[in-house]
Amino acid sequence: MWVWIVLLVLIALIVIGGIASYNRFVSQRNLVRDAWANIDTELRRRYDLIPNLVETVKGYASHEREVFENVTKARAMATAATGSPAEQAAAEGPLVAALRQLFAVAENYPDLKANQNFLALQSELSNTEDRLQTARRYYNANVRDYNRRVQSFPSKVIAGWFGFKEEQFFEVDEALRGDAGVPRVDFGGQTPGVTFGSGAGSAPTGSEASPAAQEQSPPPPPAPTS
């Protein structure tokens, strides 16, 4: 008699634990999707800024046709990349490189750097990049936590039963972006400029894709638990 009672209690505990684990997977997956939507919003905002930026620079350096064509082509490729985070990141590399060329051209024209429209576009691009990097860190942190549960026992059993797969990190390939990182506008000097260093707002490194990688940014809000 007592054996059956104990057995039923154990089965009930396993079922309750499985339901709780499943619900947590759903919550974490939704957090990952919401975080990716934030990244996509900031990327689209940046894509919308680029045509106006190109036209402004073109007004002062119309002979730099190849640079403008590179930016336009890279933007079109990035805008069309609506697949996985890895595919989107692969399209971001050429765009970052093209923007680097565009701002390098702008540095040669003092009148352009003093243009109010150009300054406003730089400021908006800088704000967009800051928001994008914040969204990226939040997204990657959620992916890391979610993937850790997919890989860990006993939650990996629930993940296997219900088809919860590992999510992809969002990172620009080092081979595409080189050592530069994402463009960041610098208003600290006498004239505005753009740097591509690997500071606090730089793109993630390859180590971030590892399950054991540790983000150096503040942790995101905890996922709801069941």
Domains of the chain and CATH, by start: 22-209 (1.20.1440.20)
Tens digits of per-residue pLDDT, 138-169?
A: 999 999 999 999 998 988 898 899 989 999 99
- Pick from 15, 166, 183, 176: nearest CA to 91: 176
Q: Which residues contact 144 (CB under 8 A, 6 or more apart)?
A: 169, 208, 211, 213, 215
Other beta carbons less than 10 A from residue 225's beta carbon: 9
DSSP H or E stretch at residue 185: strand 184-186
Cβ atoms of 100 and 185 closer than 8 Å: no
List, for residues 81-123, the tens digit of each pLDDT value.
Answer: 877 888 888 888 888 889 889 988 888 888 888 888 888 998 8
- The pTM of this model reads 0.70
